[in-house]
Amino acid sequence: MEQLSEIKKRIKSVNDIKQMTRAMQLISAVKMRRARSQLEQTMPFFALCAESIIELREADIVIDNRFFQLRQKKKGETWKIGYFIMTGDQGLAGAYNLNVLATTEQHIRYKQVDNVRKGLMTSAKLYVCGSIGKDRLVREGFDVDETFRYTISEPTYYRARDISDYIYDLYENETLDLVYFIYTKIESAVSMKPMVTRILPVNPDALEELVPPEYCQQRGLIAGASVEYAPSVDDVANYLINTYLNGMVYGVLTEAYASEQTARMTAMDNATDNATDMQVKLTLKNNQARQGRITNELTEIVGGAEVLAESYRQLPGADASALERG
């Protein structure tokens, strides 16, 4: 049985950990609510841009723009795919980072196998937000861009605009043929799901899944409608693509940050509950150890008294009846 002093030390350590996890849970809850508030404030603007793109698709209007058209590859050529992966800079968030990284590895393998069947090659370049994901993917041997150093913590529109400009240049210069975002989306208060979304070339089908139903507007365009672009189709498309990229990046950054804080809040809540359960068990163990020590002490006292009594009886001229009377 453990010493009583050791059990008391463990109880104190568990109590200290419980206070820390409780504090981290409260901090994550505040950060999560702030991130969700930022996302809700910017979602109407992004949703309007996405709805404009979806309307053009439903009206059968073909936009002859490189950002809206999937490039064609012949057998033997290489698909240059860029993955922008949203991970955290801190741990203690449950399986948040591991799920994103596992989804990344799975999607890369899927694209490689699929392209091999089509007689094509695959080049995957990874741009990772967050040190945890970057460090692991580098160790795993993936082609990670070390110069891409951004974080999802406390996202701002200015940071999103920098990243979207960076993505724009990569696609414009044909450094990348496809651009995917891999991040975590909150489906409910207790459910989060890693997402893989193609952002370039623009995929209207994916946009319909990303825009929440409450932000969807009644579309005014119908198939075959006559649309006049001012000043030109290309100018409108270029404006839409810039706005679309800014909104997509900011939305993904905010969603990933809110998901990370939610995951950490849940993990710290579970850790606090586990610490409480351990406290109860250790307290019971402490009481049992204390009772055992008291029992041992009483046993020693009774045993000692019996030894003294036996020694007294063996003394010459000892009065046994007096000893019995006390």
Q: Please indicate, yes or no, whether residues 132 and 193 belong to a single structural domain of this protein.
A: yes
Judge contact between 49 and 164, C-beta under 8 A: no
Q: Please indicate, yes or no, whether residues 12 and 128 belong to a single structural domain of this protein.
A: no
Assign 145 to helix, strand or coil. Answer: coil
77: left (phi over 0), alpha (psi -120 to 50) or beta: beta
Q: Is residue 324 part of a domain?
A: no
**Domain CATH number, residue 117:** 3.40.1380.10
pLDDT digits (tens, 9 = 90+) for 181-211: 999 988 776 778 898 989 889 887 777 777 7
Q: Please indicate, yes or no, whether residues 37 and 151 belong to a single structural domain of this protein.
A: yes
Q: Which residue has the higher pLDDT, 213 or 202?
A: 202
| Alpha-helical runs (H) found in 192-232 | 204-210
Question: Taking residues 134-151, what's their average pLDDT?
Answer: 90
What is the pLDDT, as a whole number, of residue 205?
Answer: 77
Q: Please indicate, yes or no, whether residues 135 and 209 belong to a single structural domain of this protein.
A: yes
What is the pLDDT, as a whole number, of residue 323?
Answer: 47
Q: Please indicate, yes or no, whether residues 88 and 150 belong to a single structural domain of this protein.
A: yes
Q: Is residue 319 part of a domain?
A: no
Q: Please indicate, yes or no, whether residues 259 and 280 belong to a single structural domain of this protein.
A: no
45-49, 157-161, 279-283: range with lowest mean pLDDT: 45-49
Judge contact between 165 and 241, C-beta under 8 A: no
Query: Tokens 């490189």 correspond to what residue?
Result: 66
Q: Please indicate, yes or no, whether residues 285 and 244 belong to a single structural domain of this protein.
A: no
Cα distance between residue 141 and residue 261, in whole Å = 28
Q: What angle do CA 25, 29, 32 make, to 5 degrees?
A: 135
> Does pLDDT of 326 surpass 80?
no
Judge contact between 121 and 115, C-beta under 8 A: yes
Range of the domain at 8: 4-17+273-313
> Does pLDDT of 164 surpass 90?
yes
Q: Is residue 322 part of a domain?
A: no
> Counting Cβ atoms within 10 Å, is residue 242 exposed (0-12), middle (13-18) or buried (19+)?
middle
Q: Please indicate, yes or no, whether residues 8 and 34 belong to a single structural domain of this protein.
A: no
Q: At what angle do helices 131-139 and 96-117 cross, to 10 degrees?
A: 50
> Does pLDDT of 316 surpass 80?
no
Question: pTM for this structure?
Answer: 0.80
Quick one: tokens of 250?
A: 């900011």
Q: Which residue has the higher pLDDT, 211 or 241?
A: 241
Q: Please indicate, yes or no, whether residues 57 and 199 belong to a single structural domain of this protein.
A: yes
**Domains of the chain: total:** 2
Q: Please indicate, yes or no, whether residues 75 and 106 belong to a single structural domain of this protein.
A: yes
83-97, 117-131, 228-242: range with lowest mean pLDDT: 228-242
What is the pLDDT, as a whole number, of residue 266?
Answer: 84
Q: Is residue 318 part of a domain?
A: no
* Phi, psi of 6, deg, nearest 5: -65, -40
Q: Is residue 228 part of a domain?
A: yes
Q: Is residue 169 part of a domain?
A: yes
Judge contact between 79 and 121, C-beta under 8 A: yes
Q: Is residue 209 part of a domain?
A: yes
Query: Tokens 């591991």 correspond to what residue?
Result: 98
> Counting Cβ atoms within 10 Å, is residue 48 exposed (0-12), middle (13-18) or buried (19+)?
middle
User: Binning pLDDT at 50, 70 and 90, where does residue 60 land?
Assistant: low
> Does pLDDT of 223 surpass 50?
no
Q: Please indicate, yes or no, whether residues 154 and 42 belong to a single structural domain of this protein.
A: yes
> Does pLDDT of 280 surpass 70?
yes
Cα distance between residue 176 and residue 199, in whole Å = 12
Cα distance between residue 101 and residue 85, in whole Å = 8
Q: Is residue 325 part of a domain?
A: no
Q: Please indicate, yes or no, whether residues 302 and 244 belong to a single structural domain of this protein.
A: no
